[in-house]
Chains A and B, each alone.
Chain A
Amino acid sequence: MNFIRTGIREFVGLFVDDWLFTILLLAWIGAIALGRGHVDSGTLAVAFFAGVALLTLAFVVRRAKLLAPRPQAPNVEAKRSASAPTADA
């Protein structure tokens, strides 16, 4: 049973690295599928691509924000080096 679970988890991991992105992408595909009868298929195709492109850009920026180090890090280092000689003395 564990073997199957691990296999499924690994297979899903090949395609999904961000669950929120995947869920929103699938929701967008669902929304496009629902709009088929109401909107012209050419317009819907452009809307589909535009949505995927926007989602991709938004999540790239989100990841960049998460990965970028905090700007206050140098201040912490400065405080540490300033307190070090006092401790030695």
Chain B
Amino acid sequence: MASFVEFVEALTIVLAVGVVRGWRSAFAGATVAAVTLAVAIWALGPRIGELNQPLFKLVVGILLLLFGLRWLRKAVLRAAGVIPLHDEARAFERTSEELRTKEQIAKSVDPAAAFVAFNGVFVEGVEVVFIVLAVGGTGSHLGQAALGAELAGAVVVILGIIAQRPLTRIPENALKLVVGALVAAFGTTWTGESLGLKWPGGEFGLVLISGAYAVVAALGVALCRGFGKRGARA
């Protein structure tokens, strides 16, 4: 069950990256993370538990926080009308160029998006390894604990495939706003946890922080709407 929760957290990040920045980037990041983790487990064995997790979590947490807040700020400015949702004139002038870009997005890998997916899968993967070592090590049932984690991982992958299609129907900027809030919430939680902070709500802390960031975004849109209208009038 504990492994399942960690896998769901990793899936959330991969789905968020995939929907906004393309599935190729999300899968590339997740695959590289899974392979890196597998190599680390193979090379280090149970010694992987000696990894300095708080420092690792702090670095990844800060990176996620910066990345998530960057998305959130841009989505707020778009929703307020300060940045145009779609620049029609430029789109008309550069239709062919845009089409080429869209093709390139579908075919190429966005390094930032892949990196976020990598971080999400790798950090959660390391946590799953810790859980398996803790549960399996104390009861001398390492094999059973690993099997439980593998089953949880398989169920989460199936859930991800099912959830992929409905997510693509949500409007782009609304999705970017939600993804920004989610990634920022992960960054905040991990940074805080690495500093030894205890979030209110315990296990639901992440959900509460995501909701709080959504409130911050709504407040930001309300505050910036005046600038957007002024820009539209000018």
* A residues adjacent to B (C-beta < 8 A): 10-11, 14-17, 21-22, 25-26, 29, 32-33, 36, 41-42, 44-46, 48-49, 52-53, 56-57, 59-61, 63-65, 67-71, 73-74
B118 shortest CB reach to chain A, Å: 12
Return 30 A-B CB contacts under 8 Å, by A number: A14-B111, A15-B66, A15-B67, A15-B112, A16-B66, A25-B65, A26-B62, A29-B191, A29-B195, A32-B197, A36-B195, A36-B196, A41-B196, A42-B197, A45-B199, A48-B195, A52-B69, A52-B188, A56-B216, A57-B216, A57-B220, A60-B73, A60-B223, A63-B73, A64-B223, A64-B224, A64-B228, A67-B231, A68-B231, A69-B234
**Chain A facing B: main interface SS:** helix
Inter-chain CA distance A33–B193, complex, in Å, is 11
Q: Is the CB of B188 within 8 A of A67?
A: no
Q: Any chain A CB within 8 A of the CB of B23?
A: no
B117 shortest CB reach to chain A, Å: 13
* B interface residue count range (under 10 / 10 to 19 / 20 to 34 / 35 or more): 35 or more
B residues near A65, Cβ cutoff 8 Å: 227
Inter-chain CA distance A33–B54, complex, in Å, is 13
Q: Is the CB of A56 within 8 A of B73?
A: yes
Please, what's the 1-or-0 string for B191-220, where 1 marks a CB less than 8 Å from any CB in chain A? 110011111100000000100110010011
* Residue ID in chain A nearest B193 by CB atoms: A45
* B residues adjacent to A (C-beta < 8 A): 62-63, 65-67, 69-70, 72-73, 76-77, 80, 82-83, 111-112, 115, 184, 188, 191-192, 195-200, 209, 212-213, 216, 219-220, 223-224, 227-228, 230-231, 234
Checking B76, B197, B227, B228 against A45 with a beta-carbon cut-off of 8 angstroms, the contacting residue is B197
A residues near B209, Cβ cutoff 8 Å: 49
A39 shortest CB reach to chain B, Å: 10
Inter-chain CA distance A16–B82, complex, in Å, is 20
A residues near B83, Cβ cutoff 8 Å: 67
Inter-chain CA distance A74–B232, complex, in Å, is 12
B residues near A15, Cβ cutoff 8 Å: 63, 66-67, 70, 112
B residues near A16, Cβ cutoff 8 Å: 66
Q: Is the CB of B67 within 8 A of A64?
A: no
Checking B66, B111, B188 against A22 with a beta-carbon cut-off of 8 angstroms, the contacting residue is B66
Q: Which of A16, A56, A64 has the most CB of B within 10 A?
A: A64
A residues near B188, Cβ cutoff 8 Å: 48-49, 52
Q: Is the CB of B220 within 8 A of A42?
A: no
A45-B200, A64-B227 known; A33-B73 Cβ under 8 A: no
B40 shortest CB reach to chain A, Å: 22
A56 shortest CB reach to chain B, Å: 6
A6 shortest CB reach to chain B, Å: 13
B residues near A41, Cβ cutoff 8 Å: 196-198
Checking B62, B67, B223, B230 against A29 with a beta-carbon cut-off of 8 angstroms, the contacting residue is B62
